A and B are shown apart, each in its own frame.
Chain A
Amino acid sequence: MFYREAGDFKTSYRDDGQTFPIKLDRWGYYAILAVAIFVVPFVINDYWASAILLPFLIYAIASIGLNILVGYAGQVSLGTGGFMAVGAYSVYKLMTSFPEVSVIIHILLAGVITALVGIAFGLPSLRIKGFYLAVATLAAQFFLVWLFNKVPWFYNYSASGQITSPQRTVLGWAVTGSAASPAAKYLICLAFVIFAAWVARNLTRGMIGRKWMAIRDMDIAAEIIGVNPLSAKLSAFGVSSFFVGIAGALLFAVYLGAAEVTEAFGINKSFLVLFMVIIGGLGSIFGSFAGAAFLVILPVFLKNLLVGGFGWPTDLAAHIELMIVGALIIFFLIVEPHGLARLWRLVKEKLRLWPFPH
């Protein structure tokens, strides 16, 4: 009734194969994009940008990246925090070494550097699988964090080991540094999110994505039908790390402004992004957004509800918040192990049939 496809005819294969084959979906997508680009920047304020939208967008990029590796290619990784740190420190070194080059190029280059590091740490995946691979990537996490804390060159020999992002502009608008307006910071992150989601969607439905999924579903069978595990696995590590690196670069340069590797890119960050992917839905771009939204917005919402709304003491609220988020994670995993993306798909199925469910 509300959500129907009757009369929505396709006359070419191209139309049939598009990302949003249903007209209503497509319109919804365009509407969301239009609101995100043309409305939100004019109404955004510091609080919305810093507390909700920037972390949501940045974590969405990170979870798209990890979803490619874990959800599409089936290679478990616990090194996301370390790879984000590579992105952050690369962009810091690039920004301070080549101040005349545009920060957008720096962020993309930080992604490329992270991709190379990711490929290097992906090499063990050719030999080991599953939990053993997870442990190998865990080693990457600890090694990278240790490296950035240990070698002063990475933090330009500052006394405290903190890195601070200098001010850089895009088209005359400051996007990093403290003078950047919330709208500028939001738009730069949004641009990277749209880019990441578009690239990821098109990679995963093309040949390379099919190779990843073949490896995920059964690597021996994939090898027999002619998928080269070396190129498939390493490309998954490379592409995934590219996005994770961009997320790390944005997290440091645009969102936090100053970072310290152990605190900002510790093992907790790896788990956080992995939870986003699992809760959102493995092997789904929408799931990456849903997972990021769930884990970024829910704690802020609960905090504001419990402290601002009910006037509870902050420590009690913080504890209850942890318990509620934890309980909801377990609830969602029991009710829908395939994540929020699957839940969304079911809702759509139901809406298509409504009001005649049989």
Chain B
Amino acid sequence: MKLKLAGLVAGAIMAAAPAMADLIVPNLSYRTGPYGANGTQYADGFNDYFTLLNERDGGIGGEIIQVPECETAYNTEKGVECYEATKAGALVFNPLSTGITYQLIPKVSIDRKVLYTPGYGRTSAKNGQVFEWVFNAPANYWDGASIAVKYLLDENGGSLEGKKIALVYHNSAYGKEPIRTLQELSEKHGFTLIEVPVEAPGQEQKSQWLQIRRDKPDYVLMWGWGVMNQVAIQEAANIRFPMENFIGIWWAGSELDVMPAGNGANGYKSLTFNGVGTDYPLYEELKTHVIDPGKASQGGQHVGSAVYSRGMYAAVVIAEAIRKAQELAGTSAITPEQLREGFENLDMTDARLTEIGLPDFGPAFTLDCANHGGNGMARVQQWDAAEKKWNLITEFTEPDAEVLDPLIAEDSEAYAAEAGIEPRTCD
């Protein structure tokens, strides 16, 4: 009995390692746990785009893309297990968790795998001289913070002097990321920053919003995820905080976040670096090749939602990088090293996005050896509660590089010193 069980254990564990010749892009997803509602949509978008490429074009450059999924439940220990289980033959990881990203950053440089963290993860990974294997284009948290402040500057005729801005944040690595930038920006533009931490997962925010009611900030920025967003928007509606002065980061900008507050959420704004809705030509192809034949992940129930679109956007960028890598390497069966080259030579143009069938879906950006984060452009969207849809209200805006570049240099140098990395030279 014992032996049999041991054999079964060994067999089952060995069976987990895939040994396939196709290109492997693991999807470290989370469909369970406190953030499962958001994670499910993201994973669906990610899967569906690769399914579309496989079904319509036979993969990329003739190579089928395998997307083995592994459930992390947003838990770092399970994230490590998933990484080890899927890394054999894998090209690139996208764990959708800042905590797991921090753990994988040192591991990927040893295992020589690409880590692509669009819009999350370690901001200073933008510095490709230190973080050789990590890419966080098209935008990172500091870009987001800067763009939000820039938007507020525009609204106030170029000055935020004497204004009060509160930051409601998830009290974790993710939520703390923008604080440094906002502190710098508050010095530069003369506004007062009020930091309001919310303990994970964020179901209990009465005291935080009481504090906001007392301090009466002019604007509230939010770095939230999962249930925290819903509660915050509901609480903001309860204290009658003007919704148009409430701006969330892109992770606080999904339908799930605003729906529970009903009409109370009308006018809520959030940043985004991808388009939402199904008004793009690509969705017709997706319908013919993926949804109608019943091949959509989870039956396609979330197609077109904000988080689904973001997952799809991540897949689009990875697919483009694979294409570029194949072109550079002259072979279709690329290695992670070649994919890294592909990322470093990636040129996402508006023309290319239109060709894919997603015109104006994301910002145009180029990456190179030193710049792994693109130009950091994002835009603002606003929720229309009556129509139940997000409307894009600004064009893609660039962040304030003057403030961000020194911060990124400082943080990445600190990491290099701590980890004993000699920054490579880029020419």
B87 CB contacts on chain A under 8 angstroms: 46
User: Known contacts A166-B418, A167-B420, A304-B15: does B173 contact A161 (CB below 8 Å)?
Assistant: yes
Bitwise, A246-270 to B at CB < 8 A (1) or not (0) is: 0000000001111110111000000
Q: Which residues in B have their C-beta under 8 angstroms from that of A178? A: 106-107, 109-110
Task: Find residues 316-336 in chain A having any chain B CB closer than 8 Å to their own CB.
Answer: 317-319, 322
* Nearest opposing residue in chain B for A302, CB measure: B12
A308 at the interface (CB under 8 A from B): yes
Smallest CB–CB gap between A311 and chain B, Å? 10
Q: Which of B85, B109, B177 lies in contact with A47, CB distance below 8 A?
A: B85
Prevailing SS type, chain A contact patch: helix
Closest to B180 in A: A159
- Indicate whether A55 reaches chain B with its CB closer than 8 angstroms: yes
Complex CA gap A305/B15 in Å reads 8
Given A55-B77, A166-B419, A167-B420, A256:B40 Cβ within 8 A: no
Is B163 in the interface zone, CB < 8 Å from A?
no
Cβ-defined partner of B172 (8 Å) among A51, A52, A179, A260: A260
CA distance A171 to B122 in the complex (A): 33
A260 to chain B, nearest CB (A): 5
* Interface flag for A301 (CB, 8 Å): yes
Given the interface pairs A258-B103, A260-B99, the reply to whether A159 lies near B31 with Cβ below 8 Å is: no
Selecting from B67-75, B253-261, B329-337, B344-352, the interface stretch reads B67-75
Are B103 and A159 in contact (CB-based, < 8 A)?
no
Q: Is A309 an interface residue (CB 8 A)?
A: yes
Of B12, B76, B84, B200, which is within 8 A of A305 by CB? B12
1/0 contact string of A49-62 vs chain B (CB within 8 Å): 01110010000000
Number of interface residues of B (CB under 8 A): 51
Contacting residues, chain B, for A159 (C-beta < 8 A): 123, 176-177, 179-180, 411
Cβ of B32: which chain A residues have Cβ within 8 Å of it? 315, 318-319, 322
Chain A interface: which size bin? 35 or more
Contact between B418 and A314, CB atoms less than 8 A apart: no
A102 contacts partner chain B, Cβ-Cβ < 8 Å: no
| CB-defined contacts of B386 to chain A, threshold 8 Å | none
Cβ-based interface call for B426 (8 A)? no
Once bound together, how far apart are the Cα atoms of A50 and B111, in whole Å? 14
| Residues in A neighbouring B76, C-beta threshold 8 A | 256, 258-260, 263-264
Residue B355 is within 8 A (CB to CB) of chain A in the complex: no
Q: CA separation between A153 and B243, bound complex, in Å? A: 36
List B contacts of A255 (CB < 8 A): 80
| B174 contact set on A, CB distance < 8 A | 160
Q: Which residues 23-81 of B have a CB within 8 angstroms of A? A: 29, 31-32, 36, 40, 69-71, 73, 75-77, 80-81
A300 to B102, CA, bound (A): 22
Partner of B418, one of A46, A161, A164, A257: A164
Contact B85–A51 (Cβ < 8 Å): yes
Q: Which residue of B lies closest to A317 (CB)?
A: B71
Interface residues of B in 98-142 (CB under 8 A from A): 98-99, 102-103, 105-107, 109-110, 122-123
Residues of chain A contacted by B69 (CB below 8 angstroms): 313-314
Query: A358 CA to B96 CA in the complex, in Å?
Result: 61
CA distance A262 to B201 in the complex (A): 10
Q: A162-B102, A178-B107, A263-B99 are in contact. Are A304 and B13 (CB under 8 A)?
A: yes
Say yes or no: B177 contacts A160, CB within 8 Å.
yes
| Cβ–Cβ < 8 Å partners of B15 in chain A | 304, 308-309
Partner of B13, one of A161, A258, A300: A300
A201 close to B (CB within 8 Å): no
Is B366 close to A, CB under 8 A?
no
Which residues from A are CB-within-8-Å of B102?
160, 162, 164, 258, 260
* Given A48-B13, A162-B102, 14 other A-B residues pairs in contact with their CB atoms under 8 A: A50-B84, A51-B13, A51-B80, A96-B418, A160-B102, A160-B174, A166-B419, A256-B103, A258-B103, A258-B105, A262-B199, A300-B13, A304-B15, A314-B69
Contact surface of A with B, Cβ cutoff 8 Å? 46-48, 50-52, 55, 96, 149, 158-162, 164, 166-167, 177-179, 255-260, 262-264, 297, 300-301, 303-305, 307-309, 313-315, 317-319, 322
